[in-house]
Amino acid sequence: MFSNESNHTIDHVQWLPGVQTTACIFYTIILLFGVIGNILVIVIVTRYRNMRSATNLLLTNLSMADLFLLIFCTPEGYQHLYGEDKHRLGKFMCSFGPFVQNVTSTCSVLTIMAISYERYVAICQPLKTSALRFTLFRTLPTVVFIWILSCLVSIPFFRYSKTGTAQSIYGETIVTCFTVFPESWKNIYLILCTLYLYIFIFLMLCYWHFSICCILFSREALLRDNSIVTRYRRQVAKLLITLILTFFIFIIPYKIWAYIHQRYQFEEIAVIGFHQYSFIAIITRSFLYLNSAINPLLYSVMSTKFRQSLLLLCDDCRYPNKDRRSDAVYFNREYTAKQLMGINGGVGGRTTSTTAAKLSYHQFNGSHLHEKKSLIIDNLPTIIVQNPTDDGNLILSKELL
């Protein structure tokens, strides 16, 4: 079905009944949900000021990479199903498709690495110099660097992917698309720059998140600190761990299959049979597409802030002329008020004051400087409660996301 040389013979065989239709429906569902979900993530973070943190901007970059993969790489899956062994997308897409796939997957893993490092420094190394910490102003250069590095690493896929002709058993000359690396590149590039890169990053992620979990989920931490800021940190940690697991579970099968496809000759792979070959190709592609479509669902399930902003966006679409109070701030204040009332029902034997219940802002003075430092250390997207003042009112910071 696929060829690594231009003079291979490609046999035209019949698909098993129902396989093409089932795979096509599955690809379409993934494509629709993935495109809509990732666009929603980008719109929410860019629309609402309280969602613009370093972590969320990096998650937006992850959604952009997923969106590009779904738009530019899904057509290859449809072509595999109905192309009858012919490449119908043109010479440019023959080179651009593998290039985009590798760029987006590399960009995704580097973005996850950047998010994990930001959380690690904020939680495990809070007293480190500010040069090691992510800020909103440092996030954009980081995103640009990630995309440039991903493109540089993926250039060989663009260079060595090309179209060629092959003769079918029916005497028809057809155009195929294949990627052939020189023999010297197969071990150096495919193993060192792809498999080893993913293994190294995965080990780094395991170390960072193990350190984070030791701090946030230790028995002492669970008994000592149950504040909103700690709850948010635990929520983000769970979300990132889930993102990492789903990413590597879904991307590794495709990477292994792509390596086998490039490492061995076409005749060596074809011995497994057309139906087995096509089944493996469909499964690995489905995992690749699903990895790019599932992240928005994880955000909505595991992130309270994202769910709130999504509901607010839906409300804005229904009532576009409705007056809003500082974007999504009011919506998040209402949720945080409920959390504060549940956590701090009484302060020093006194109930929470009306000032705290209404979530009015407290302007920090010199005597509260140490509390202000502790608040801005994370750039957390929530209102943070601190110690009570002398009159019993709670000290509240501004929304930091």
Residue 211: CATH number of its domain: 1.20.1070.10
Give CA–CA dist 291/30, Å, rounded: 9
Give residue 277's pLDDT band: very low, low, confident or very high (50, 70, 90). confident
Residues with Cβ < 8 Å from 262, sequence gap 6 or more?
Answer: 179, 180, 181, 186, 190
Per-residue buried b or exposed e for 149-181, using 16+ beta carbons within 10 Å of the residue's own CB = ebbebbebbbebbebbebeeeeeeebbbbbbbb
- 8 Å CB contact between 34 and 77: no
The total number of structural domains that make up the chain = 2
Residues 302, 363, single domain; the answer is no
Lookup: tokens for 328: 């999504």
- Residue 112 domain flag: yes
Q: Among the three residues 283, 314, 345, which one is the final residue of a domain in this structure?
A: 314
The helix (H) or strand (E) run that includes residue 245 is: helix 228-263
Specify the higher pLDDT residue, 266 or 150: 150
* CA angle, 177 then 148 then 250, to 5°: 60
Per-residue pLDDT at 138 exceeds 90: no
Contact 315, 284 (CB under 8 A): no
Residue 351 domain boundaries: 329-396
- At 26-39, the pLDDT tens digits run 999 999 999 999 99
Assess if residue 384 is contained within a domain. yes
Burial of 335 (0-12, 13-18, 19+ CB in 10 A): middle
Average of per-residue pLDDT across 137-146: 89
pLDDT exceeds 80 at position 355: no
Average pLDDT over residues 288-315: 85
Q: Is the same domain home to 245 and 372?
A: no
250, 281, 314 - which closes a domain:
314
Q: How much is the pLDDT for 324?
A: 53
Do 380 and 301 lie in one domain? The reply is no
Position 111 scores a pLDDT of 92
For residues 217-234, average pLDDT: 65
Comparing 35-49, 101-115, 346-360, the range with the smallest average pLDDT is 346-360
pLDDT score of 144 more than 90: yes
Distances in Å between the alpha carbon of 67 and those of 36, 57, 186?
9, 15, 29
Note the pLDDT of residue 86. Answer: 74
Least confident of 152-166, 302-316, 364-378: 364-378
Any domain includes 2? no
Specify the higher pLDDT residue, 217 or 245: 245
Counting residues of the chain whose pLDDT is more than 70, the rounded percentage is: 66
C-alpha 109/C-alpha 210 separation (Å) is 18
